[in-house]
Structure 1
Amino acid sequence: MVDVLENKRAATRFRILVEIAERQPAVSQGEIAEAVGVTSQAVSEYIRDLVDEGLVEKEGRSRYRVTKEGVDWVFQSATDMRRFVDHVTDDVLGSVQEDAAIAEADLAEGQTVSLSLSEGLLHAAPGDDGGATGVTTTSAEAGSVVGVTGFEGVIDLEPGHVSVLQVPPVRSGAATDTADIASACENVSIVTAAGVEAVAALREAGVEPTTYFAAGEVAADAASRGMDAVVVATQDTVGRVTDALRDASVGYDVTQ
């Protein structure tokens, strides 16, 4: 179990650190106490411990700031909670939900099927191959959509990787190396663009982007489904792209 969910003290530390980060550097312990649901004295004790542990630094009377170590702790705790929530929604609650899959053969209602991901889509094949399984809620012909419920097991999935390529904004007057872009996009199914210059650079390289809306979010979703992706982004928009990738906890690299 994630510490901040299993341990009340850890959960309170997490919330107080978040409240300090949101209000810093002028921190009202009374406001934090009201937001967290503890006494002002308890907040004072927590903050004193956080300062002693190097997660918060005191800059003066009622002035505090979360240190890099504190930010790292909050970020790691938030990531752990996100993974736990994903486990609950996908693995636990998902077992009682119905989902759609592509039938890999003719299937009858009530049939046990093996589940896999291919090109980012759920597929159902007859029988139990020892991995993730489900039970069909409809009948379906091969290649059509079938309903599946009663999920058990975990689908064997290697997360995809996202390569972020930067291109200069038009105002810089700098040239774009389209050969590198074309090479990076070879054998990659998902290519997104962030910014008009990125769309133009891809097309000049002979690559039509999958989308140029929500480029980071689309690439992150593809990677979470086991697909590699490329994002071409202007230097002005690359920050929004990497924010979306970090939020989704997918692996990525940025090159210029």
Structure 2
Amino acid sequence: MVDVLENKRAATRFRVLVEIAERQPAVSQGEIADAVGVTSQAVSEYIRELVDDGLVEKEGRSRYRVTKEGVDWVFQSATDVRRFADHVTDDVLGSVQEDAAIATADLAEGETVTLSLSDGLLHADPGGGDATGVTTTSAAEGEVVGVTGFEGVIDLDPGHVSVIQVPPVRSGPVENIDDIAAACADVPIVTAAGVESVVALRDADIEPTTHFAAGEVAAAAASRGLDAVVVATQDTVGRVTDALRDASVDYDVTQ
């Protein structure tokens, strides 16, 4: 077990040290007591122990500073807590979490199913495969079914995002309407960043899927195997590509 989670005292000691680090050098024991949920007297005792252990140094009345050793201890403890949390979410809860899928055939509760992504949505097929789960409900074909006990990896080819730049209104009209129309043909997700982009798409007889969080939406679609086009003004293209890079999505930018 992680040290700061072994008992309440260790956890409180960790929180007091973090509160000192956040407030240093002028430290109000009353504020720390309110934040941690203990008495001011208890905070005073914890601080005295931290000073004795070399994790905090006293600089004057109500003035404390976390030492290098204290910073190292907080960092290591926080890392241990993060690893424990990752273990809980990934290893423990990951095996018991329930997700929703579309049944491709009539399914009974407790049935092993193959999981796949189609049109960006999770589908459950009868029988075992490379990626499987166990149904937690029964469902008729086309209905939603609960699935848990996930094993394996879903076979998925990530989508590609094409980013098309258009000029801002101050730079004149959009001249590449035909190119926009051709790029968006048969692409399931088309997003727009900027009013100029929305109008350019409508001039190409295309209604954007969304004109909010264009890069994030396209990145989410690509991560589920769907190609996408983002039409963005030159002023907004940087925010779009930042979102795509953060999601490790394959993309290209054209004018």
The normalised TM-score by structure 1 is 0.65
Cα pair 2:174 2:200 within 8 Å, conserved: no
**Residue 131 of structure 1: how far off its partner (Å):** 1.0
Cα pair 2:215 2:239 within 8 Å, conserved: yes
**Residue 206 of structure 1: how far off its partner (Å):** 1.0
Tell me whether 1:141 sits opposite 2:143 in the alignment. no
Paired residue type of 1:162? V
* SS, match of residue 238 in structure 2: helix
**Residue 176 of structure 1: how far off its partner (Å):** 2.4
* Alpha-carbon distance in 1 for matches of 2:186, 2:90: 29
* SS, match of residue 239 in structure 2: helix
* Alpha-carbon distance in 1 for matches of 2:167, 2:69: 44
* Alpha-carbon distance in 2 for matches of 1:160, 1:91: 28
Cα pair 1:135 1:150 within 8 Å, conserved: yes
* SS, match of residue 254 in structure 1: strand
* Alpha-carbon distance in 2 for matches of 1:156, 1:91: 21
Deviation string 1:1-48 (CA, Å, 9 cap, x unpaired) is xxxxxxxxxxxxxxxxxxxxxxxxxxxxxx9x8699249xxxxxxxxx
Deviation string 1:151-185 (CA, Å, 9 cap, x unpaired) is 00000001111000000001011432110000100
Tell me whether 1:37 sits opposite 2:37 in the alignment. no
User: Which has the greater radius of gyration?
Assistant: 2
Residue 100 of structure 2: aligned partner: 100
Q: Give me the CA root mean square deviation.
A: 2.5
Instruction: Pick which of 89-98 and 154-163 moved more.
Output: 89-98
Over the matched positions of the two proteins, sequence identity in percent amounts to 78
Deviation string 1:109-140 (CA, Å, 9 cap, x unpaired) is 00000000000000001111x31000000000
Tell me whether 1:159 sits opposite 2:141 in the alignment. no
* Alpha-carbon distance in 2 for matches of 1:212, 1:117: 25
Residue 225 of structure 1: aligned partner: 224
**1:46-61 map, 5 Å:** none
* SS, match of residue 198 in structure 2: helix
Count of residue pairs the alignment pairs up? 179
**Residue 204 of structure 1: how far off its partner (Å):** 0.4
* Alpha-carbon distance in 2 for matches of 1:251, 1:91: 29
Residue 206 of structure 1: aligned partner: 205
The runs of 5 or more residues in structure 1 that have no matched partner are 1-30, 40-84
Cα pair 1:168 1:176 within 8 Å, conserved: no
Q: Cα gap change, 1:252/1:178 in structure 2, threshold over 3 Å: closer, same or farther?
A: same
Residue 63 of structure 1: aligned partner: none
Q: Cα gap change, 1:88/1:38 in structure 2, threshold over 3 Å: closer, same or farther?
A: closer
Cα pair 2:163 2:232 within 8 Å, conserved: yes
The runs of 5 or more residues in structure 2 that have no matched partner are 1-64, 74-85
Paired residue type of 1:155? I
Residue 36 of structure 2: aligned partner: none
The normalised TM-score by structure 2 is 0.65
